[in-house]
Amino acid sequence: MSALEKAIEGAKSRDARVVMPEMEDARIAAAAKQLRADGICEPVGLGDNMDAYVAALVEARGVKEALARRMLSRPLFRAAAMVAVGEADAMVAGAVASTKKVIEAASIGIGLAEGVSVASSFFLMRFPDGREVIFSDCGLNVDPNAEDLAAIAQASERSGAALLGDARVALLSFSTGASGTGPSVDKVREAAEATGYVGPVQGDAALSPDVAAKKGLGNGDANVLVFPSLDAGNIAYKLAQELAGAQALGPILQGFRKPVCDLSRGATVRDIVDATAVSLALG
């Protein structure tokens, strides 16, 4: 059974409520109908329990009441507040709104999980040959420092374990081991030393046992690939889509108290359905 199939089966057993604040978009409306028909979750629109939402922002997030009411006039913030008060178990948005706006609403309305220092994102990449690999971070952190990169890798390992069962993390670079130097490879090396994950390692050595043996680092069996920058991650996932025919589910946000999915604005109905199931698997 694939990671996606496991996520769908797991979501069906949860009977989760997922707030989708962009129901005016035809793709979201169609995906909500499909999610309900398939029994994956119960999609819900925006609620109107404004006093409870205001209280959640005031008490938990320290927002002034007048500001909270203004914020809750925006759909994304109201959706996040619904998750905060327990009216929804997860939030799925981004088909219309930008990543920046989804992150802002989730950060204020839901907040980071305990012990998490930086929010990040990943894609579950599904290749035509059946391989499933996590790519992180491809949608949020532009140029993480070594500490942030280590936190992203740790969050990605947790996501990988939830979806793939056995998460094998590689911190990617243009250099393997001690073969290269420079600011980008140095920060990857520092993050690898802090976490114990394989790195710095080039993509071929991360994925090929033969190349890993020749270069003397790792086993070449990684299934969680952590990129050193948003440039590298974003370029890589889009090339995998266009040249290898991979399906990219996400970006799925990680590090928040409750599941949040930031959809690509080019997402299809099938992508939205699948990404929702994947998000719920992390809950």
pLDDT in tens, 54-71: 998 898 777 789 999 999
Question: Confidence band (pLDDT; 50, 70, 90) for 204?
Answer: very high
Q: How many CB atoms lie within 10 A of CB 175?
A: 20
- Asked if pLDDT for residue 1 goes beyond 90, the answer is no
Res 244: pLDDT: 97
| Domain 118-255 sits in CATH 3.40.50.10750 | yes
Res 114: pLDDT: 86
- Extents of the domains making up the chain: 1-111+256-283, 118-255
Question: Which residue is listed with tokens 């947790």?
Answer: 158
The Cα 62–Cα 108 span in angstroms is 9
- Asked if pLDDT for residue 233 goes beyond 80, the answer is yes
The Cα 118–Cα 83 span in angstroms is 20
Res 245: pLDDT: 96
Q: Tokens at residue 86, please?
A: 């327990």
Among the ranges given (34-38, 99-103, 116-120, 177-181), the one the predictor scored with the smallest mean pLDDT: 177-181
| Domain 1-111+256-283 sits in CATH 3.20.20.70 | no
Res 266: pLDDT: 85
Handedness of CA 58, 64, 66, 70 (dihedral sign): negative
Res 265: pLDDT: 86
- Asked if pLDDT for residue 14 goes beyond 90, the answer is no
- Asked if pLDDT for residue 283 goes beyond 80, the answer is no
Question: 1-111+256-283 with 118-255: one CATH topology?
Answer: yes
Res 60: pLDDT: 74
